């Protein structure tokens, strides 16, 4: 960054009467972290960076190599609109460096930057448009509960949807932070909601996912509610997904997925991208669906995609190509959920798609029938496989996918493996309420 850029931002901070600055980043599992500094330290942060202890952050560094440096990305400066005027605060999203000035290989943002650079070498810009679903629950004694906030359903209005005011305040806050909100509505399940923002280049979109979750939780908390992005908080109703729309554009702005002269108006690049995604999707699942609970959502019967296939018209397929063409041509990967780390998830998706392009992969024939209504034999006959059924299984697929592991780098891949093993072992050895109800009286 130039001295002029720093001076311009410092002037803006003073003009905005900012008292505190939050230097934000994410850990390896996608949880937002921050270091808060008084505004008078802004010049130091913007020029030299701010040091912090990386050994305290999951998946970052061992104690003997724990020193890390946060360097703000000037383009991410935003006022936090919910803060009171007297304590006005702003934030920067930061990249993480070692004390020697090298990008930290465990920084999820750096992992995504590397894939963006790889796409640029091939002449492409990767755009994404995620659709995040979430639940609003009441708080009880200051802690999140499973008490539903409303009993609305898909596209319901007040008075059934009691969360309209909460969604409105969330949208106002996000708009003040520069989001281009396209739509919001009540989702299928009670107390479940969706707010959609405009697609953009993949790094900006990943930043926006973290900001979206942070802002949504903050505004909900101010209303005495808990916003949960957990994949499947309640048995028997729909879980929350993060359908991710993806497209490649050329460096001059043309949509690389569109070809008006083919039967489906999809280019060779689009078909190869789809083929790469399908080839690597089992390994991607570990990243896009990173918790034990994620796999309670990925089951038949609740609109969640579990069958590996693609289609231009079938919403039961894992990869759907929505109807719009021209500049809006895109593919939608429907399996990710909002507990994922967006930087790592988008990096893995891009790496897989680029692999399909580099190696001229061809996708299988499209699955244009309702896959949910097929029998197991019919799916087998059509060559339709299923996603991994557990975190343990998905992690094995990731560890056996050298392309995705290479995209993540050894530091991140090894830490994700360790996290999955510890998480699965903790789940495997826990005694659940289901087991007590099923076995205690019988045996």
Positions marked catalytic:
53, 131, 133, 187, 194, 243, 315, 332, 334
**How long is the chain?**
443
Contact status, residue 408 vs residue 416, Cβ threshold 8 Å: yes
Whole-Å CA distances, 442 to 22, 435, 439: 55, 11, 5
Q: Which residues does 354 contact at the CB level (< 8 Å), separation at least 6?
A: 115, 118, 119, 122, 124, 273, 276
Contact status, residue 318 vs residue 281, Cβ threshold 8 Å: yes
Dig out the tokens for 31 from the structure.
Answer: 């949880």
Q: Is 274 exposed, middle or buried (0-12, 13-18, 19+ CB in 10 A)?
A: buried
- Rg, the chain, Cα only: 22
Half-sphere exposure of 72 (CA within 13 A, CB side): 29
* DSSP three-state, residue 310: strand
Question: Can you tell me which residue has the tokens 């050894």?
Answer: 410
Residues 327-330: contacts with CB under 8 Å, at least 24 apart: 327/255, 327/258, 328/255, 329/247, 329/255, 329/257, 329/258, 329/265, 329/266, 329/270, 330/127, 330/129, 330/199, 330/245, 330/246, 330/247, 330/257
- DSSP one-letter code for 368: -
Q: Which residues pair with 32 in a beta bridge?
A: 26
DSSP secondary structure, 218-232, as one string: HHHHHTTEEEE--S-
Contact status, residue 388 vs residue 297, Cβ threshold 8 Å: no
Q: Report d(CA 133, CA 266) in Å as an integer.
A: 28
Cis peptide, bond prior to residue 159, ω within 30 of zero: yes
- What kind and span of H or E run contains 15? helix 3-15
């Amino acid at each position: 960054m130039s001295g002029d850029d720093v001076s311009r931002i410092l002037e803006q901070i003073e003009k905005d009467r900012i008292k505190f600055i939050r230097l934000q980043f994410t850990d390896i599992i996608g949880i937002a972290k921050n270091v808060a500094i008084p505004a008078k330290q802004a010049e130091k942060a913007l020029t030299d960076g701010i040091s912090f202890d990386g050994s305290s952050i999951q998946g970052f560094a061992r104690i003997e190599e724990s020193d890390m440096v946060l360097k703000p990305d000037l383009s991410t400066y935003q006022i936090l609109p919910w803060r009171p005027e007297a304590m006005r605060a702003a934030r920067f999203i930061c990249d993480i460096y070692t004390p020697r000035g090298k990008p930290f290989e465990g920084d999820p943002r750096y992992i995504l930057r590397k894939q963006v650079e790889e796409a640029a070498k091939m002449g492409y810009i990767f755009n994404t448009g995620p659709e995040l679903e979430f639940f609003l629950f009441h708080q009880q004694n200051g802690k999140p509960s499973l008490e539903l906030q409303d009993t609305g359903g898909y596209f319901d209005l007040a008075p059934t949807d009691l969360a309209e005011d909460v969604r409105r305040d969330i949208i106002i806050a996000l708009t003040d932070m520069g989001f281009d909100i396209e739509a919001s509505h009540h989702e299928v399940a009670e107390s479940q909601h969706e707010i959609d923002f405009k697609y953009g280049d993949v790094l900006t979109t990943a930043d926006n996912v973290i900001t979206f979750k942070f802002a949504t939780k903050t505004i909900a908390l101010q209303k005495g509610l808990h916003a949960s992005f957990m994949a499947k908080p309640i048995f028997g109703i729909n879980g929350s997904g993060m359908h991710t729309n993806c497209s490649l554009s050329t460096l001059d702005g043309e949509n690389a997925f569109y070809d008006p002269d083919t039967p489906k108006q999809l280019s060779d690049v689009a078909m190869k991208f789809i083929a790469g995604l399908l080839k690597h999707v089992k390994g991607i699942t570990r990243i896009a669906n990173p918790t034990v609970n994620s796999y309670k959502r990925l089951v038949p019967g609740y609109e969640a995609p579990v069958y590996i296939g693609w289609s231009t018209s079938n919403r039961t397929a894992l990869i759907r190509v929505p109807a719009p063409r021209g500049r809006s041509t895109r593919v939608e990967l429907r399996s990710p959920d909002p507990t994922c780390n967006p930087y790592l998830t988008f990096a893995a998706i891009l790496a897989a798609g680029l692999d399909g392009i580099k190696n001229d992969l061809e996708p299988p024939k499209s699955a244009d029938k309702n896959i949910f209504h097929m029998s197991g034999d019919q799916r087998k006959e059509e060559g339709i496989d299923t996603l991994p059924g557990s975190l343990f299984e998905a992690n094995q697929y990731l560890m056996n996918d050298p392309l995705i592991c290479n995209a993540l780098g050894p530091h991140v891949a090894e830490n994700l493996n360790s996290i999955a093993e510890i998480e699965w072992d903790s789940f495997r050895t826990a005694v659940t309420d289901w087991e007590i109800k099923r076995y205690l009286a019988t045996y």
